[in-house]
Amino acid sequence: MAKILIVDDDTELVESVQAVLESKGYAVVTASNGEEGYKKAVSEKPNLMLLDVMMTTDNEGFAIARKLHENEATKHIPVIMVTGIKRVKHLPFSFEPDEDWLPVKAVLDKPVKPDDLLRHVEKVLGKK
């Protein structure tokens, strides 16, 4: 059973995503900010991380994604960024995965539909 770490400060979103993932048989671990998420990534060794951007700071998720990528113990953990930054900051552009600046597998805009989230999770985990 794959273990997924959800890192987001929105407790309602975390609970709903956790319910969706657990209904599909995934084990779920949660963290409410980037630093806690980083520590759990090191200790829990999840198969995948779902990471928000705006938590303690407006760009915390970006920094954590890079920090994970730079650490030999965590660089293998794939990250899907799930964020509302584009909507909240009224950004006229999207973020794309980039090996150095944004080392993630995908960037999904909130709100994300459960089916879309599961499709990306399964793709990253090699289930489909």
pLDDT tens digits, one per residue of 14-73: 999 999 999 999 999 999 999 999 999 999 999 999 999 888 888 899 999 999 999 999
**Beta carbons within 10 angstroms of residue 108's beta carbon:** 16
CA dist list (Å): 19 to 9, 14, 22, 62: 16, 9, 5, 25
Q: Where do the domains of the chain lie, and which CATH numbers do they carry?
A: 3-124 (3.40.50.2300)
Q: Where are the beta strands (DSSP E) in 1-128?
A: 3-7, 27-31, 48-51, 79-83, 106-109
Residue written as token pair 């600046």: 101
- Percent of the chain residues past pLDDT 90, beyond the cut: 70
Contacting residues for 74 by C-beta, under 8 A, at least 6 apart: 38, 41, 42, 68
pTM summary value: 0.89
What is the spatial distance between Cα 42 and Cα 100, in angstroms, rounded to a whole number? 20
